Structure 1
Amino acid sequence: MPVAPPPPKGLPLNALRAFEAAARLGGFSAAAVELGVTAGAVTAHIKALEEALGAPLFERHAKGVRLSALGQRALPEFTEAFDRLGLAVQTLRAEAAPRTVHIAALPAIAQLWLSPRLPAIRAAAPGITVSITALEAPPDLKRTPFDLNLFYREDDLGRHVAGDEVFPVCAPQLAGRLRTPADLAGIACLTDSAWPGDWQAWLGAAAPGLAIVPKGPVYSLYALAVEETVNGAGVLIGHSALVAAHLASGALVAPFETRVRLARSLRLWSARPLRPGSAAARVADWLSA
């Protein structure tokens, strides 16, 4: 009787994904962050893959790792393959749940700009569910399952939503102490760690040559800095789109007239063309109207 030999054993997908991420990002730790696992898990996956192949994919050094010649030759095809897989997964998710829209946004944008607009979207289209993930940086469009992305950018990707003008804001009770920019020397100046150059950008335009270094607490969450400013903790550089509601309500005021327009703008984009009439397209239209 014929003998059927066992088929060749395939390579584990998770190990291949770990190799591609580590090779593309230049290290095991960066790959672990992207994949949501530990650096030890990435190391184990790649070691098992190298043992299965019988050849090294990385050269280990005291300061890190470097792709071997084999790894360099293999990387482009694996990157293209996982990019295509990511886009296919996005299409599958969109077609399986066509009424759910996944949005990735900067935390400050999600809290201060996007969240106040969700009730109107729910009222206009109660059948659409909006899911929001706050990220510190835009995601890899080909690898993540987001329908829409909302971040500040300096290029022209996607749709322009709002410009970015910066200017000091404070609680009304502090405004009376601020006649000129020089008065900032005696008041706490709040700073957001994601935008450390905001004060210098504004002072350079509003008071060139003024020898003042704004001093005060630094926050890793802009929304918290805004809340503390409302509470009277000091003066913060406001971003027009993010403090508009507080200015309209009177919770914050702008004590100086000068506003500085930055090169970046708030932009909305998708990894793939939005199908006309789809839930994602309708939400994108509302947000960019």
Structure 2
Amino acid sequence: MAVKPPGPRQPPLNALRAFEAAARLGGFAAAAEELNVTPGAISAHVKALETELGARLFDRNARGLQLTGLGARVLPAFTEAFDRLGQATQTLRAEAAPNVVHIAALPSVAQLWLSPRLPRLRAEAPEIEISITAMEAPPNLKRAPYDLCLFFGPEPDGRLAEDVIFPVCAPALAEQLHQPEDLNRLPCLTDSTWSEDWHLWAQQAAPGLRLATRGPVLSLYALAVEETVNGAGVLIGHQALIAGHLEAGTLVAPFDAPVRLPGGLRMSNPRPLRANTPAGRVARWLRDSAPA
């Protein structure tokens, strides 16, 4: 009878993934957010890995986590390995379900820019299934299973629209606004994602204006837009997201004072797109649907 003694036990993949994410991102909280688990789970995985190895991978001190020499030496190899695993998984998913296009987008972009375009896209390409995931920050494109990502960013490549901002409100409310100083008499809505919008606009469009923005802070920009349409106050509109409301007349710009911010709405993809694939066709269609 052949003797087949058990080989050395491999560390759990989840523990290795937790170590790599914490080391690359500089902390358990950031790793937990990327991996969609709790910081406690990341900490437990790393501690179990260190116990199994009999060596520390992090030094814990008042400044936070610091990689040990061992942790720093092995991190590049693990990062490369998980990047390649992520890319291989993306290829596997794409080829297993070639007619499904997975899109990750900022919630406001998904609801206000992408969603209104989908009926026409489905009518022109009914064989393509669109899957949308709304998230507050762009995913790691080397790991996440998405074909396309739609977010605001500073990079010029892949830009679909510039980021132009200006105050908007319901038509009835606009009758009370004749100059920027009048904003101090009305509620100024703020979105938590773009909490600096009012400051950025006033700094360039109305230098010297002492703007006391009083009004509710909303966690979703799409909700802030709907509240503005309903007459709840004035909001800084991002032109790419409110173009439909401006065209319909449900929102108006009381001042001719647009401010162009660096960057804009951009589309990115984790791997090169071939023009004749569903993802390539959707990307081209979205580019063509964006205003010049």
The within-5 A match list for 1:223-234 is 223-234=222-233
Q: What corresponds to 1:263 in structure 2?
A: 262
Query: What SS does the corresponding residue of 1:9 show, helix, strand or coil?
Result: coil
Distance 1:132 1:218 in 2: 26
State the 4+ residue runs in structure 1 displaced beyond 6 angstroms. none
Look up the SS of the partner of 2:43 in the other structure: helix
Specify the code of the residue in structure 2 equivalent to 1:216: G
Partner-residue secondary structure (3-state), 1:275: coil
The letter of the residue matching 2:134 is A
Aligned to 1:133, the other structure's residue is in SS state strand
1:180 paired with 2:169, answer no
* Offset from partner CA, 1:69-111 (integer Å, 9 cap, x none): 1111111110011011111111111111110001111111111
CA distance in 2 between partners of 1:137 and 1:176 (Å): 37
| TM-score, scaled relative to structure 2 | 0.95
Paired letter, 2:274 = R
Amino acid at match of 1:127: E
Q: Secondary structure at the match of 1:189?
A: coil
What is the CA distance between 1:4 and its match in structure 2? 3.5
Deviation of the 1:205 alpha carbon: 2.7
- Which amino acid is the alignment partner of residue 251 of structure 2? L
Post-superposition offset of 1:2: 5.8
Q: Is 1:245 the equivalent of 2:244?
A: yes
Counterpart residue number, 2:213? 214
TM-score by length of 1: 0.96
Q: Which residue does the alignment assign to 1:115?
A: 115
Range moving further from structure 2, 27-36 or 236-245: 27-36
**Matched residues in 1 for 2:2 and 2:195: separation?**
73
Q: Distance in 2 between matches of 1:205 and 1:71?
A: 47
Where structure 2 has 5 or more consecutive residues not aligned to the other structure, the ranges are none
d(CA) in 1 for partners of 2:279, 2:2: 56
CA–CA distance in structure 1, aligned partners of residues 287 and 272 of structure 2: 16
Task: State the distance in 1 between where 2:267 and 2:44 align.
Answer: 38
1:38 shift after superposition: 2.2
Give the counterpart letter for 1:205 in structure 2: Q
Deviations 1:159-184 (A, max 9, x none): 22111111111001111111111111
Counterpart code for 1:121: L
Structure 2 equivalent of residue 58 of structure 1: 58
CA distance in 2, matches of 1:129, 1:2: 53
For residue 199 of structure 2, what is the aligned residue in structure 1?
200
Partner of 1:288: 287
Q: What aligned pairs does 1:1-289 form with structure 2 within 5 A after superposition?
A: 3-157=3-157, 159-289=158-288
Corresponding residue pairs, total: 288
Deviation at 1:219, TM superposition (A): 1.2
**AA partner of residue 5 (structure 2):** P
Answer whether contact 2:167 2:234 (CA < 8 A) is retained: yes
8 Å CA contact retained: 2:105, 2:132: yes
Alpha carbons of 1:63 and 1:245: their partners in 2 closer, same or farther (altered >3 Å)? Answer: same
**Structure 1 counterpart of 2:177, which letter?**
L
Structure 1 unpaired stretches of 5+: none
Q: CA RMSD in A?
A: 1.4
Q: Structure 1: how far apart are the matches of 2:154 and 2:175?
A: 35
